[in-house]
């Protein structure tokens, strides 16, 4: 049919996770291999010489903004960059330097930054409607219907302000629906910064380590399970059965931290079976994977039907207020129960939630992604980048590990993201030096015109042509050739 594109899978091949996990273990078992000191000094000179305006702006910001930057993914080393412009595969800093942008705002812009056809729709809307009215707008309906077309398990959808809010709402609805309290997450996974889910963050087994300011009661019903440990998950579910039951198991379907700790292909199916056996709801946190793994998301790719789906990022195509929860009709009805007057209500709200601007942006971004086959194109770019990185690593005999789940590309050099509390002494000894090495890698890439996510992850987009990727690989090569012993 004219105008329609055949969607293929955005992941050409699921990585051999056994082999990757073996390589990652080998990386963390050995001492770090950082950049040579003389070369690192040269990379840092770039910032002093080329980024004066960024430095001035962010120094000034420190006086009125705690820490100077407000995004966890922003770089602070040696100092943050101020960004002026973003377009397609590139962004430009306040000093006019151009970078290949593999941060892509943390993942929402699979079409590339600032895709004109979406921008035009947003501008057109703003000519007539205010960005928010507090009343119903047709594009709320259109967006919910469109998401349902791509993800049939999302029978109903409630738009919210962020992925954090959506994950918080999902576990609230699961508790109301099941009447149970416990929620199990996978250690190291990120589901936003709500009180109950700020638990077992970054390093599996660390529980409340990052829960400063959160009362014990708020995380008291949250539990974590080590990544890929289905035996432990089963034991937790069994124990919980004796103590009032498990409301939900929430997973990032490609593995914690967007697949930094990758899961085997059948992991989600096995979690689904366990949830069914123990009467717990399965929540897929698709904030990153939603539409990045294909228009059907991770649930389409793995062929697993979650009870609830948490969405964010892509559902507004990079525009503000990106969050929403969807799923089985009878569970989703919990959000309306108070209004409808029947049953207990899972209370959610938000002055700006589901505003017309976010909804129209999301609606046209998703349509454009379908029309252009953006997830698949971005996935191919991710494959090309990964293969190129693997070749450099092999040629230079580095212990580093590159792997990808389509357009989610990982380049582990310091291994800091792979530590876990099964080896507490190692964490205490090595966390700081490994984290600093990751910062250095990020700064070195940046000095070569490459913006990455925290120096270890790259999101590719439809804008990443073969030429962009090959250019990026040359730049990565410059950095990787500067590593000790390379």
Ligand X SMILES: Cc1ncc(COP(=O)(O)O)c(C=O)c1O
The residues assigned a catalytic role are 190, 285, 313
Closest CA to 258 of 213, 306, 298: 298
The SS3 call for residue 202 is coil
Q: Spell out where 104-198 has E strands.
A: 156-160, 182-186
| Helix (H) / strand (E) containing 100 | strand 98-101
Kindly compute the dihedral angle of the four CA atoms of residues 247, 249, 252, 257, in this order, to the nearest 10 degrees. Answer: 100
Helix axes 37-50, 52-64, angle to 10 degrees: 80
Name the DSSP class of 345.
-
**Smaller CB separation from ligand X, 160 or 469:** 160
Please classify residue 188 by burial: count the beta carbons closer than 10 Å to its beta carbon, then call 0-12 exposed, 13-18 middle and 19+ buried: buried
Please report how close the Cβ of residue 133 comes to ligand X at its closest, in angstroms: 23
Distance CA 481, CA 396 (A): 7
Distance CA 98, CA 440 (A): 20
Tell me how far CA of residue 101 lies from CA of 27, 110, 243, 406, in angstroms. Answer: 27, 12, 48, 17
Please report how close the Cβ of residue 256 comes to ligand X at its closest, in angstroms: 9
| Helix (H) / strand (E) containing 246 | strand 246-251
Encoded tokens for 384 = 């090309």
405 bridge partner residues: 408
Encoded tokens for 128 = 């007539």
The residue written with tokens 């291994």 in the block is 415
250 bridge partner residues: 185, 283
**Smaller CB separation from ligand X, 46 or 193:** 193
Encoded tokens for 277 = 């056996």
Task: Residue 70: count other Cβ atoms within 10 Å of its Cβ.
Answer: 10
Select the residue whose beta carbon is closest to ligand X and give its number. 163
Distance CA 452, CA 426 (A): 27
| Site for ligand X, rule CB under 6 A | 106, 162-164, 167, 190-192, 252, 258, 285, 287-288, 312, 322-323
Half-sphere exposure of 100 (CA within 13 A, CB side): 24
Encoded tokens for 149 = 């077309």
Question: Would you say the C-alpha torsion 313, 85, 368, 465 has a positive or negative sign?
Answer: negative
**Smaller CB separation from ligand X, 158 or 384:** 158
Q: Spell out where 406-477 has E strands.
A: 408-412, 450-451, 457-459
């Amino acid at each position: 049919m004219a105008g329609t594109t055949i969607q293929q899978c955005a992941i050409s091949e699921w990585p051999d996770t056994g082999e990757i996990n073996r390589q990652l273990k080998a990386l963390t078992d050995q001492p770090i291999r950082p950049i040579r000191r003389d070369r690192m000094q040269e990379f840092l000179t770039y910032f002093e010489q080329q980024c004066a305006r960024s430095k001035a702006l962010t120094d000034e910001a420190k006086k009125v903004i705690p820490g100077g930057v407000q995004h966890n993914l922003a770089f602070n080393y040696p100092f943050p960059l101020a960004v002026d412009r973003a377009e397609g595969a590139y962004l430009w800093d306040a000093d006019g330097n151009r970078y290949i942008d593999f941060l892509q705002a943390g993942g929402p812009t699979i079409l590339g930054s600032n895709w004109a056809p979406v921008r035009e729709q947003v501008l057109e809307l703003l000519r007539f409607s205010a960005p928010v009215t507090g009343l119903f707008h047709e594009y709320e309906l259109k967006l919910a219907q469109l998401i349902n077309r791509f993800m049939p398990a999302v029978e109903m959808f409630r738009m919210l302000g962020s992925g954090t809010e959506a994950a918080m709402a999902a576990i609230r609805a699961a508790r109301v629906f099941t009447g149970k309290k416990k929620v199990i997450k996978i250690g190291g996974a990120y589901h936003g910064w709500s009180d109950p889910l700020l638990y077992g963050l970054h390093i599996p087994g660390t529980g409340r380590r990052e829960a400063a300011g959160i009362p014990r009661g708020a995380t008291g019903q949250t539990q974590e399970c080590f990544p890929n440990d289905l035996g432990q998950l089963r034991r937790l579910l069994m124990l919980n059965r004796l103590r009032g039951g498990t409301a939900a198991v929430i997973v990032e379907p490609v593995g914690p931290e967007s697949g930094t700790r990758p899961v085997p292909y059948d992991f989600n199916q096995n979690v689904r079976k366990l949830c069914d056996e123990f009467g717990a709801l399965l929540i897929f946190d698709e904030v990153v994977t939603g539409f990045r793994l294909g228009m059907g998301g991770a649930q389409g790719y793995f062929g697993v039907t979650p009870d609830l789906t948490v969405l964010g990022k892509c559902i507004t195509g990079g525009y503000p207020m990106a969050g929403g929860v969807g799923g089985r009709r009878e569970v989703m009805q919990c959000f309306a129960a108070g209004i409808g007057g029947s049953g207990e209500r899972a209370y959610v709200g938000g002055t700006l939630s589901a505003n017309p601007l976010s909804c129209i942006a999301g609606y046209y971004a998703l349509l454009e992604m379908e029309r252009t086959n953006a997830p698949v194109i971005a996935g191919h770019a991710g494959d090309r980048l990964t293969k190129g990185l693997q070749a450099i690593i092999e040629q230079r005999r580095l212990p580093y590990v590159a792997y990808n789940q389509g357009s989610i590309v990982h380049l582990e050099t310091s291994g800091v993201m792979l530590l876990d509390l099964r080896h507490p002494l190692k964490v205490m000894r090595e966390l700081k030096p490994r984290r600093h090495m990751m910062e250095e890698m990020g700064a070195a890439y940046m000095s070569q015109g490459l913006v990455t996510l925290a120096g270890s992850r790259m999101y590719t987009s439809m804008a990443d042509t073969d030429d962009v990727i090959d250019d990026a690989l040359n730049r990565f090569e410059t950095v990787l050739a500067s590593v000790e012993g390379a």
